[in-house]
């Protein structure tokens, strides 16, 4: 049996994080961890080394794009990839190829269908 893919959700919205974790883990394909404090994201990523980070862009104590840049500067974390989550654009403004800093993003509020589609696509096509 293939091992589960590891995902870390970094989002200050506790309820949204729990919902996303539940939706992803229900598939049986993923092991999901949550970090609700942007200021702790870098250490959590170093400690857990997930394959994919679902990273909120706007958090009160950290900026998701700055966290991504910090990770990119650490060569030991080179394999970690991101999908940004943001409320800065509406679902209607998103085209399928939209990127933030070269990384795909999911508009917030995140729906279960879009979340599953993007994460499955990410692992299928290895962004």
**β-pairing verdict for 81-86 and 52-56:** parallel
Report the pLDDT value the prediction gives residue 81, as an integer from 0 to 100: 92
CA distance linking residue 66 with residue 122, whole number of Å: 22
Phi, psi of 27 (to 5 degrees): -70, -20
Query: CA 29, CA 103: separation in Å to the nearest integer?
Result: 22
Q: Name, in order, each residue with C-beta under 8 angstroms of 75's C-beta and a sequence gap of 6 or more.
A: none
Distances in Å between the Cα of 60 and the Cα atoms of 63, 80, 92 are: 8, 23, 25
Q: Give the model's pLDDT for residue 97.
A: 46
- Looking only at Cα atoms, what is the longest distance across the chain? 41
**CATH level 2 (architecture), domain 5-125:** 3-Layer(aba) Sandwich (3.40)
pLDDT digits (tens, 9 = 90+) for 20-74: 999 999 999 999 999 999 999 999 999 999 999 999 998 999 889 899 999 999 9
| Structure-token pair, residue 85 | 């989550």
Angle of helix 14-26 versus helix 112-125 axis, rounded to 10: 60
43-52: pLDDT as tens digits: 999 999 999 9
Q: Degrees (nearest 5) of the Cα angle 10, 12, 18?
A: 70
């Amino acid at each position: 049996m293939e091992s589960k893919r590891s995902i870390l959700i970094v989002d200050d919205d506790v309820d949204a994080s729990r919902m996303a974790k539940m939706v992803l883990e229900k598939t049986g394909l993923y092991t999901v961890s949550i970090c609700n404090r942007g200021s702790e994201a870098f250490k959590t990523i170093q400690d857990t080394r997930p394959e994919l980070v679902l990273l909120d862009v706007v958090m009160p104590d950290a900026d998701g794009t700055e966290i991504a840049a910090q990770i990119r500067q650490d060569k030991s974390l080179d394999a970690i990839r991101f999908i940004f989550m943001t409320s800065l654009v509406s679902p209607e403004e998103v085209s399928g190829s939209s990127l933030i800093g070269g990384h795909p993003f999911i508009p917030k509020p995140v729906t279960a269908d879009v979340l599953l589609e993007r994460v499955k696509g990410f692992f299928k096509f290895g962004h």
